[in-house]
Every structure is written in C-alpha cells, then in structure tokens.
Structure 1
Amino acid sequence: MDIRVLEFTSPVFERFFNLGDDIQSLAVSRLLPKVDGYVCREALNHVDTECVVPMNGFFMNTDNWPPSAKVYPVFFAFHVRPESQKHIFTPAGIDYLKKWAPIGCRDQGTLALMQAHGIDAYYSKCVTLTLPRRETTPENGQVFLAGLSDTAKHALPRSLRKEAIVVDQAKIRLPITDSKLKLMLAEELLKQYRDRARLVVTSKIHCAMPCIAMGIPVVFLYDKNKQDDYRVKIINDLVGINYVYEHGPAARIRNHALSNRIDWSPAPLNIEEMKDDIRQKFAVAFQRVTSVG
C-alpha cells in the first residue's frame, strides 16, 4: 500500500504558509520505509486511493473530518487545536478515533481531550524531536531569532539583538503551492540552524523542537497571556518556557526588566534516549496500522 505524508496546499495556505508544518513532514518521512506521495491535511476526506498516512501535527483548519475510508491513519504526534475540537470530536469523529486507537498525542493537552472522550491514547511527543544531532558546533556561531514579535525581542540583551539573524518561518509570504519546493525550503532552513546557530531564541515550537533535537541551545519565549496554551507545554518539559509581555503600553519596558532572569547561554540538551523511545513507539504504531491494511 502507498505511504503518503501530509502536505499543506489548500486555499487555507494561499496568503502564507508555515514551514513548521513542512518540517514535521520532513521529520516523519525519516521514520518511514518509503514515501510514495502526499495528501492535503485539509482534504483527507477526499482521498480516493488506499494509503497509509501518518497523522502527525496540528489538526486542523477546516471541518473536513473524519478522513476518507481509503486512509489508513497512523495517529502519532497528533495535536487537536482548541478551535477544532468541535469538528474532531463529533460523534462520527469520536468513533473514527476509537477505531484507530490508541492515539499518540503530541502534547498532554490533546491526551487529556482524548481521555475525556473515552478514547484510548498516550503521550507520544513530537517526531521533530527525532532529527539527528549535529556532529559539530560552529566555531563562530550566530544567534537566530525565530518568530519573535518586536515586543518580545526587548527581553533580549541588546548585544544579542544587535548581532542576530531574524527569521520568520511561520509566515512565509510567497505564492508557492509546490510541496516539494516547500519541503526543500524547510530542509534548507534546518541546515542553516544546524550549521550556523550557537543559540536560537524562538516562540515557535517547530523551530524549538528541531533545534533541541539537533543539539542547538534554545531559549523559548512565549506570551504571558497564553500560559494555558497546551500546544506549547511540551517545551516546558524540555528547556522551559520564559513568559514575556506581548501587550500593553509598558510591555517592552517590562520585557527589558525580565532579561536578567533568563539564561542566555544555555547548554544544548542531549535527548538521544528520548529519540530512541519516540522512534520505537512510532514503529509500533506504524506496524499496527500496516498490518490491518
């Protein structure tokens, strides 16, 4: 049976696209025996050819749920955003998830949602944490700021801000619908982090987790008003979350005052044992679905 990976090509992505999505597809591709093609995450209910599809990532921007009967889903690193709960957890949606359980959840919040609906589930973490650790550290490494607002940047020491390379990987405003090209862009971005970064400061989980996996020191900044956002709680289990002010007339001044409380020289994590555990659990989930097919 064909194995297809999620792509992000529907009208939802016409104004901008998020390379974090494509990074997740790159990461899961490394765990598969082959990739025969792609299916749009927002149109899984229209798939008309039998195929195995890893369901890793953020679900979803439309109400096209549950998927077609032609889809054999591998639920691993699955995340349900708050706005989509009403689409995912319909009676038909719950029956679908129960049929393919246990559901591997990317975060504890999604796990709690599954359990609240009587669906067998477990905490799988994210497949981007399985990316290979870099072999060498750049001699004259640079600081990368990824996805930070101008207000959040005021939490950084001026010396770091002055020398930093600024990246916005979550809102790429290019008229690109070619999935292979987007995957190439995602791969190049990861290469830049791997080969050049001595520190990455970010508010994006799919910058933070790949960089952590690659052995790059990471500082994670996030909006203080979103402390209940279960999507990012996985980062707290890894490098911690530094909450900053994003709103209000004094936000920049308050962030500047926070600077001394943040460790700007963190050591890289070694998560090789975690990687092995995630890979093994993914292999079990994949085998369970392919044996049905």
Structure 2
Amino acid sequence: MMQYGLFSYETENIGDEIQSIAARRFLPAVDTYVDRDYVGQWEPQGDTKIIMNGWFMHPPYAWPPKSESIHPLLVSMYVDQADSRVGEAFFSSESVAYLNRHGPVGARDMSTLEFLRKHGVESYFSGCMTLTLQADPTIEKQDYILAVDLPEAVVEMLRQKTKRPVIESSPYFDANMSRENRFQVAEYFLFLYQSAHAVVTTRLHAMLPSLALGTPVFLVMDHLKYDSRRYAG
C-alpha cells in the first residue's frame, strides 16, 4: 500500500512549515514525516510518495535520496547557490541522474531554473508551492498592519503613516520546538497573514503566502536579507 510523507524541519524558520502546509493540501493523508535536511538518509517503511518542495538545503547535505521506496514529486525547489557545499551535493553525477530520473524538476524561481539547467537537469519554472494556499472563508479581515521582520525605523515610519495598529512579528522561533508546535505556529501565521489589513515584510515566506491568501503585501528589500536570486520570477 502506498504511503504519503511530508517534510518536517529543525530550523528556526517557521516559514518552512508553511511550505509543508501548502504541500499537505495535495496529499490524501500524511502517514509519515521526514526531516528535509536528512531526506538522503531516509528509509521509509514501504513505498512512500512525497512532495519535495522548498529550500535545498542545510547541513548535513544528505542528498540525493537513496531508497527506492521514495517516490518524489520534485516541484517548487529552491537550490541555495550561496553555499558551495549545496552545489557539490546537488550536482554530483549521482544527484543529476536522480533529478532527471524523477524530473522534470519544478524550480521555485528563475535563478534556480537556470542553475539546474546549467548542470544538465531537465527543469521548468513552477513558482512557489505557497502560492497555491487557499483562503479560509471563516477568517474575517481585521484592521491591523502586520510588520514581519522589519527594521525598527521602518516600523516607526509605518506607525507615523497609518492610524491602524501596527503589529510586529517574526517567524523565527526556537528550533527545539516539537513538530506539532511548529505546525501550530505556522497555522497561526497563516491566520495572521489572511486576517491582516495588509502585510509589510522583508521575507519571501511572508510575502508569497499573503499574496495567495488575498492580503495586500509590500516587500521591503532590506539589504541584509534581500537576495535577488531568490525573488527572480
């Protein structure tokens, strides 16, 4: 019997869980979880389908998957070009063969698309999985501005420009939270993104879900956080 898997994470970024919530909508069930950054070491108990979307990848660079029981859908993938060790893992001859065997690969952004093709991987531009999120009709719009990971000077400017309450938030939390708590926090952030009057953020993983949920969003291109390669497309 086919099982269905979902990525879990041990990062500080709850935006990762939002990627999994977006993928989860397309699964008939979630039978098992696997840490994305250890997927290359994963041995599922039986044939398992999994949507492999999001950021690739962090240490220990466990890639590609070895088990023949894993049946991946490679879509909405971002390949980190700033870390040379990612390139070494992702574009080894073993990995390129794996990607093409299970491809074509959906690239989350145009830069990843070019990066994949440059290394001989058949690929296409899919965009981000979070853009498929659907608004919850039971959530009512409220009258606050959500400021996600903004510099303090920008928050102060917002408060001077609007009479609406400006609520500050950050999707960065203790990486040691339980998986269940991480997913609960991610669901809460989606509630905030949808119920806000508008979202102002420096973060891609706040901007795209807000767009999907129908909330006006303004991206602040903070030089400490903005990477044009990640936003291309």
TM-score normalised by structure 1 residue count: 0.70
Where does residue 194 of structure 1 map in the other structure?
194
Could you report, residue by residue, the CA deviation over 1:101-144 in whole angstroms, capped at 9, with x for unpaired residues? 10011111111011111211011111111111354885651000
The residue number in structure 2 matching 1:164 is 166
> Which residue identity lines up with residue 206 of structure 1 in the other structure?
H
C-alpha distance in 1, partners of 2:95/2:138?
46
Report the equivalent of 2:229. Answer: 230
Amino acid at match of 2:57: M
Residue 2 (structure 1) aligns with: 3
SS at match of 1:207: helix
CA distance in 1, matches of 2:18, 2:142: 26
Between the aligned partners of 1:25 and 1:102, the Cα distance in structure 2 is 21
Consecutive unaligned residues in structure 2, runs of 5 or more: none
What's 2:134 paired with?
132
CA contact (8 A) 1:59 1:79 kept: yes
Residue 183 of structure 2 is matched in structure 1 by 183
CA root-mean-square deviation: 2.3
Please state if 1:35 is matched with 2:30. yes
**Aligned positions of 1:50-61 closer than 5 A:** 50-61=47-58
Q: Which residue of 2 aligns with 1:101?
A: 103
Post-superposition offset of 1:210: 0.9
Q: Which has the higher helix share?
A: 1
In structure 2, the partner of 1:113 is: 115
Distance 1:140 1:120, change over 3 A: closer
Runs of 4+ off more than 6 Å = none
**Deviation by residue 1:243-266 (Cα, 9 ceiling, x = unmatched):** xxxxxxxxxxxxxxxxxxxxxxxx
Counterparts of 1:215-254 in structure 2 under 5 Å?
215-224=214-223, 229-234=228-233
| Number of the residue aligned with 1:149 | 151
Bigger Rg, which one: 1
Greater shift, 157-166 or 80-89, is seen at 157-166
Q: Distance in 2 between matches of 1:204 and 1:24?
A: 14
Q: Distance in 2 between matches of 1:3 and 1:187?
A: 21
Decide whether aligned partners of structure 1 residues 137 and 153 sit closer, same or farther in structure 2, where only a CA change above 3 A counts.
same
Shift of residue 194, structure 1, vs aligned partner: 1.8
CA distance in 1: counterparts of 2:119 and 2:107, whole angstroms: 14
